[in-house]
Structure 1
Amino acid sequence: MSFRLAAYAVCIEGGRVLLARFVPPKGESNWTLPGGRVEHGEDPFDAVIREVAEETGCDAVVERLLGVDSRVIPAVAARAGVEHQNVGIFYQVRITAGQLRPEPNGEIAESVWTPIPDVACLRRSSLVDIGLALAQTVPATGHVAPVPVGGLVQH
């Protein structure tokens, strides 16, 4: 089994959420939250700020911890074909400066402010639904029920 610790930014402003279009080397693109792998020795709090800057070109500040999601992706659904556990730490962030742009030499083709009602029509990572659920419900436990995967929602 492979393992990944990641930090994700949930940035909601004026009824819109900031999404990033992930374009893998192989396969279809989908929408996700800005964020990604926590580097060895890096604090997840710092990782989410770094990832927002790298992927969107914008500066961000963390306003609060929203929660932690841990899920195991079966080998048949995982990109590498190996069972994979992703532990995601979700933060509510606010953009403070910068202009949206594609990630230089990366897999994020664009970042856009998307009206929250329009998210349901997008091919997206389950991370988007988890982040929005955490932001909208702010559960005291920092945990939401698993998001069903299929249709427009992908791992």
Structure 2
Amino acid sequence: MSFRLAAYAVCIEDGRVLLARHVPPTGESSWTLPGGKVEHGEDPFDTVIREVAEETGCEAVVERLLGVDSRLIPAAVARAGVEHQNVGIFYRVRITGGRLRPEPDGEIAESRWTPIADVTRLRRSSLVDVGLALAQTVPATGHVTPVPVGGLIQH
């Protein structure tokens, strides 16, 4: 089994959410939240700020911790073909500067503000739905019901 600890930014402004279009070397592109792997020795709080800057070109500040999502991805649908556990730490962040741009030498082809009502029509990572659910409900435990994966939603 593989394992990944990651931090994700939920940026909501004027009924829109900031999404990043991930284009892997192989496979179809999909929309996701800005964020990524927590490096060895790095604080997830710092990871989310770094990832927003790297992937979108924008500066951000963390407003609050929204919650933690742990999901097990079966080998049959995992990218590497082995069972994978992803633990995602979700933060509500506010953009304070910068300008949207593609990630230099990375897999984020573009970032854009998307009306929340339009998200359901996008091919997207389940992380988007988890982040929006946490931002909209702000559960005291920081935990949301597992998001079903299928249709336009993928792991």
DSSP-derived class of the 2:49 partner: helix
Structure 1 stretches of 4+ with a deviation exceeding 3 A read none
After TM superposition, list the pairs within 5 Å mapping 1:7-86 onto structure 2.
7-86=7-86
CA distance in 2, matches of 1:77, 1:66: 27
For 1:83-120, what per-residue CA distance to the aligned partner results, in whole angstroms no more than 9, with x for missing partners?
Answer: 00000000000000000000000000000000000000
**How many residue pairs are counted as aligned between the two chains?**
155
DSSP-derived class of the 2:93 partner: strand
DSSP-derived class of the 1:118 partner: helix
CA distance in 1, matches of 2:35, 2:3: 16
CA distance in 2, matches of 1:56, 1:80: 26
Unmatched tracts of structure 1, length 5 or more: none
CA distance in 2, matches of 1:95, 1:80: 33
Identity, % of aligned positions: 86
CA distance in 1, matches of 2:133, 2:77: 23
Partner of 1:114: 114
In the TM superposition, what is the alpha-carbon distance from 1:140 to its structure 2 partner?
0.1
CA distance in 1, matches of 2:78, 2:112: 26
After TM superposition, list the pairs within 5 Å mapping 1:127-146 onto structure 2.
127-146=127-146
In the TM superposition, what is the alpha-carbon distance from 1:51 to its structure 2 partner?
0.2
Partner of 1:123: 123
CA distance in 1, matches of 2:29, 2:149: 16
CA distance in 2, matches of 1:48, 1:125: 17
Partner of 1:105: 105
CA distance in 2, matches of 1:147, 1:13: 23
In the TM superposition, what is the alpha-carbon distance from 1:45 to its structure 2 partner?
0.1
Q: TM-score, normalised by structure 1?
A: 1.00
Aligned partner of 1:92: which letter?
A: R
